[in-house]
Structure 1
Amino acid sequence: MMNTADDVIVPRTIPALWQAKRRKQPITMLTAYDASFARAADEAGIDVLLVGDSLGMVVQGQRDTLSVTLDDMVYHTQLVRRGAPGRLIMADMPFLSDSTVAQALASAGRLLQEGGADLVKIEGGEAKAPIIRALTDAGIPVCAHVGLLPQHVRQLGGYRVQGRDAEDAARILHDAEVLVEAGAVMVLVECVPGPLGTRLATALETPVIGIGAGNGVDGQVLVLHDLLGLNDHPPRFVRDFLRGRGSIGQALTAYVAAVRDRSFPAEHEGYI
C-alpha cells in the first residue's frame, strides 16, 4: 500500500531509516561530492547522501577507486555536509583505511569528527565482521557493502555481476547476515541479480539499498553523474534522469519520485 504525503517519513536518523523499511517506504540515496550538488539533492528530497570513493573516477578521473585517500574522503564529506547540513550523510571508508581495528577506528573517527558524516560504509564480506563490531561498540554506525566490491576490482578483473550461481548467492547472503549480526545498521548491495536483492531485503531487518540489485530492495542509490547522463558507457542499471528535463533539480526530483513509486529500476535495468 502506498503511503500518503502525510505518512511519508523523512529519514534524518538511522532509526527513521529502519522505520521507513518497516513501512515499506522506498529509501532514496545518491552520491554527492561537493556543496552545490549536495544542496540540490537536499532540495529534491534525497534521503541519504553518500560521499562515495567513486569520486576517484567521476571527479578525479582515475581508472578506479583505489587511489582515493582518507584525506580526500574527509575533505569531500566536509563539502557535502556544508551543502546539506540536515541530511543523513554516509562516507565511504577508502581502500586500505580499515585493514585493522585500530586503523578503522581512527579512519572512521576522522570521517565523523572532521568530515561530519553520520555513518561510514565498509566494503567486504564476513572478514569485516570484527571491524564492524569494533566500530559499532565505539558508537560509529556502519553500512556494510556486499555483492560487487569496487575496491576488489583488480582482484576480480573488472566490474562483474556477482551472485549469479547458487553458491555465490549463498555466500553474499551469509556475508550480509554476519555483518548485520556484527552491528551493521544498513546494507548496500551492488550488481547482483534482482531475485538475490529481494532475498537480502526479505532476510534482513536492516534496510537494504541496491545499485543494480533490482526493485525488491528497500531503496536505491545511483552515482550522481550517471543519473545526469555524464557517463559515456553507463551500466544497464543506470537511467539518465536529465534527458527530456530542463534542469538538474527536475532530474533529481524525478529520480526521487521514480524510486518512491518503484518505477525505477525497471525490469530491463537489472540483472537476472
Structure 2
Amino acid sequence: MITSYDYTLASLCDKAGIDVLLVGDSAGMVMLGYENTIPVTMDQMCMFTEAVSRARKDSLLVSDLPFMSYQASIEDAINNSGKLIKAGADAVKLEGGSIMAETISAIVDVGIPVMGHIGLQPQTTMLSEGYKVQGKTKDSAMKLIEDAKELEDAGVFSIALEMISHEVAQIISETVNIPVIGIGSGVNCDGQVLVVQDLLGMYDKIKPKFAKRYMNLSEDIVNSLEDYRRDVQTGQFPSKENSFSMNEEELKKLREQIGS
C-alpha cells in the first residue's frame, strides 16, 4: 500500500503493481505545506482523490476522511464518504477505535467500504499526546486489541495500525480475521504502507523512523534544477536540439518586409 496524492506519481505506483493506493489527508502536509493534517478540507480530499483515480488502473483506491468530516454526526460521515466515492475512491478510511464503531456501521450499511485506523491517530492523538508509539503498556495494548475487534465487528474490511509496538501489532493481526496494514508497526502485519514521497526521499520536513528511503530524489532534483538554472544563465539551454526553425526562404522574405 502506498500513500499518493497526484496523477503522475499515482500512475507510476499503479504501474509498479502496488495493491492499494491511499489518498491520505497527509496531503495537507506533503502537498500543501500545512504543519499537520487538521486544516485539510473535504474539497481538497476530493481533488486529490480525483487526480489519483484518473491514474490508477488496477490498484484499489482508499481515501481518507479529513478532520471533522465524520466526527460530528453519522449523517456527516455518510454524506462525506459518498463525496469521496463520487470522486473516484473505492473505500474510505477514518480514524478511531470503538468510539467510531457506530459511525462505521452506518457507512458500511449504505454500501461504502471502510478501512479503520487505530494506534497513532494524526487527527486526534497528535493533538493530545504528540508523536508517540502506541501500545507500550499492558492496558494500552488491551485497548488497541479491543478496538480492533470492535472495528471488525462494525464491518471494516481492513485496519491501518500506525506506530503500534510490533508485539501488539502481531497480536492484533493474529486476533482479527481481516487484513491489518502497518505503518511503523512491525513486519507481522498483513501489509505495509508508506508515503511515496518518503519512500523516494522527496519530503524532508519530517523523517519518521519507520519510513525507509529507497532513493534520495530530493538531492537529485535540486541538483538537476541547479544545472537547469546554470544552463539558462550561460545560454546552453535551449540548444538547437530544443528549438524550432523557420524555413530559410520564409525567413528571408520576413527580413525583407521588416527591413532587417
- TM-score > 0.5, shorter chain as reference: yes
Larger deviation, residues 80-89 vs 177-186: 80-89
1:165 to 137, 160, 179: 137
Note if 1:101 corresponds to 2:74: yes
CA distance in 1, matches of 2:66, 2:143: 23
Cα deviation, residue 153, structure 1:
4.2
- Structure 2 residue matching 1:123: 3-state secondary structure: coil
1:231 to 203, 210, 226: 203
Q: Deviations over 1:210-261 (max 9, x none)?
A: 00000000000001111111233411111111159xx99xxxxxxxxxxxxx
Aligned residues: 217
Note if 1:86 corresponds to 2:58: yes
**AA aligned opposite 1:220:** Q
CA distance in 1, matches of 2:126, 2:191: 28
Contact residue 63 and residue 89 of structure 2 kept, 8 A: yes
**AA aligned opposite 2:210:** F
Q: For residues 1-272 of structure 1, what are the structure 2 equivalents within 5 Å?
A: 29-99=1-71, 100-113=73-86, 115-232=87-204, 233-243=206-216
Q: Deviations over 1:128-150 (max 9, x none)?
A: 00110001110000000000000
Q: Deviations over 1:84-113 (max 9, x none)?
A: 133210000000000211000100001001
Match of 2:251 in 1: none
CA distance in 1, matches of 2:25, 2:38: 8
Match of 1:25 in 2: none
CA distance in 2, matches of 1:213, 1:203: 15
Structure 2 residues without counterparts, runs of 5 or longer: 222-260
List structure 1 runs of 4+ shifted beyond 4 angstroms. Answer: none
Structure 1 residues without counterparts, runs of 5 or longer: 1-28, 249-272
CA-atom RMSD in angstroms: 1.6
With CA pairs under 8 Å and 6+ residues apart, which has the higher RCO, 1 or 2?
Answer: 1
Cα deviation, residue 158, structure 1:
1.5
CA distance in 1, matches of 2:190, 2:11: 24
Q: Deviations over 1:134-171 (max 9, x none)?
A: 01110000000000000014532311111100100110
Sort the Cα spacing of 1:157 and 1:242 in 2 relative to 1 into closer, same or farther, 3 A.
same
CA distance in 2, matches of 1:97, 1:169: 28
CA distance in 2, matches of 1:85, 1:107: 24
**AA aligned opposite 1:137:** D
Q: Deviations over 1:29-55 (max 9, x none)?
A: 001101111100011110000000000
TM-score, normalised relative to structure 1 = 0.77
Match of 2:255 in 1: none
TM-score, normalised relative to structure 2 = 0.81
Larger deviation, residues 43-52 vs 233-242: 233-242
- Structure 1 residue matching 2:21: 3-state secondary structure: strand
Q: Deviations over 1:5-26 (max 9, x none)?
A: xxxxxxxxxxxxxxxxxxxxxx
Larger deviation, residues 68-77 vs 234-243: 234-243
CA distance in 2, matches of 1:204, 1:53: 26
CA distance in 2, matches of 1:157, 1:171: 16
